[in-house]
Amino acid sequence: MSYAIICDARKGGKLGVDTLALVDRSKSRRLWWTSDNPRIAISYRSRDAAEFAAGRLRRNRARVVPFDQAVRILNQQAEGVRDAEREFEHQSALAACEEGWDGHKLWTA
């Protein structure tokens, strides 16, 4: 069984992001934490190693969970982010088209 380190997210609540997973730095040097990409999350083989690494993290309630649980959380959040982006695009398109029932009239003073 493998393990992952997750923590509470400080931002992203409007998108449905409430958990982050620690990133394997050999897979991505840009990021330390990921909210929606389980492919770059670090997987520890032993719980002791994961507990040791999590013990060094002081903020946002870092904790060790089974890796498959972390993958499930990240996939759910990825779907939530995609849904929020689609809804934002939809609302933007509606707002751009919405001029009211008389939007076609040209007002002159």
State the SS3 of 5-27: EEEECCCCHHHCCCEEEEECCCC
**Token digits of residue 71:** 């993958």
What's the rounded Cα separation, in Å, for the pair 71 and 38?
5
108 or 39, greater pLDDT: 39
| pLDDT for the residue numbered 14 | 77
Q: Are the C-beta atoms of 19 and 77 separated by less than 8 Å?
A: yes
Q: Please state the domain extents for the chain.
A: 3-97
What value does the mean pLDDT take over residues 62-87?
93
pTM of the model: 0.78
Share of the chain above pLDDT 90, in %: 65
Least confident of 16-25, 33-42, 77-86, 98-107: 98-107
| pLDDT for the residue numbered 15 | 80
Write phi, then psi, for 33 (nearest 5 degrees).
Answer: -130, 150
What's the rounded Cα separation, in Å, for the pair 23 and 40?
6
